C-alpha cells in the first residue's frame, strides 16, 4: 500500500508513481501485478485521522525468502524516494490459478 501524500504537503504524481512502478517493482516481479487506486486512512502521531489517496499493488508470487526480500526492498525504496513514514505490506497465503 503506497500513500500518495508527502510530508511537505505535496503529492506523489501519477507520473512519479508510474516511474517507480517501472523502475522498482516490475523488474522484481516481471510475471505480472495489478495496481488499484485507493483511499487510505491512518491515525497520525498526534491522534488525528489522516486520509490520503493511495495505490495498492497486488502481486501473486511464491512465498520464498527472495520474494519477501524483494517486497521489503520495494517498501524501503518507496519510503526513501517519497519521504514516507510507512509503506504497507500484507503477506497472505492463498490459492491462485491462471
- Reply yes or no on whether the pLDDT at 73 is more than 90: yes
Task: Specify the pLDDT at position 36.
Answer: 97
Task: Specify the pLDDT at position 95.
Answer: 85
- Summarize the confidence of residues 65-88 as an average pLDDT: 96
Locate cell 497520525: which residue?
44
Interacting residues of 55 by C-beta distance below 8 A, sequence separation 6+: 1, 2, 4, 17, 35, 36, 37, 38
Terminal Cα distance for the chain, rounded: 24
- Candidates 50, 56, 77, 71; CA nearest to 2 is 56
- Reply yes or no on whether the pLDDT at 28 is more than 90: yes
- Burial class (CB within 10 angstroms; exposed 0-12, middle 13-18, buried 19+) of 15: exposed
32: which 3 cell numbers? 505480472
User: Which pTM does this prediction carry?
Assistant: 0.90
Amino acid at each position: 500500500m503506497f500513500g500518495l501524500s508527502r510530508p511537505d504537503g505535496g503529492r506523489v504524481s501519477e507520473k512519479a508513481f508510474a516511474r517507480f512502478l517501472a523502475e522498482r517493482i516490475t523488474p522484481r516481479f516481471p510475471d505480472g501485478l495489478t495496481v488499484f487506486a485507493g483511499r487510505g486512512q491512518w491515525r497520525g502521531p498526534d491522534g488525528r485521522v489522516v486520509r490520503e489517496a493511495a495505490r495498492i499493488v497486488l502481486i501473486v508470487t511464491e512465498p520464498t525468502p527472495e520474494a519477501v526480500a524483494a517486497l521489503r526492498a520495494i517498501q524501503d525504496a518507496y519510503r526513501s524516494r517519497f519521504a514516507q513514514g510507512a509503506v504497507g505490506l500484507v503477506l497472505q497465503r492463498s490459492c491462485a490459478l491462471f
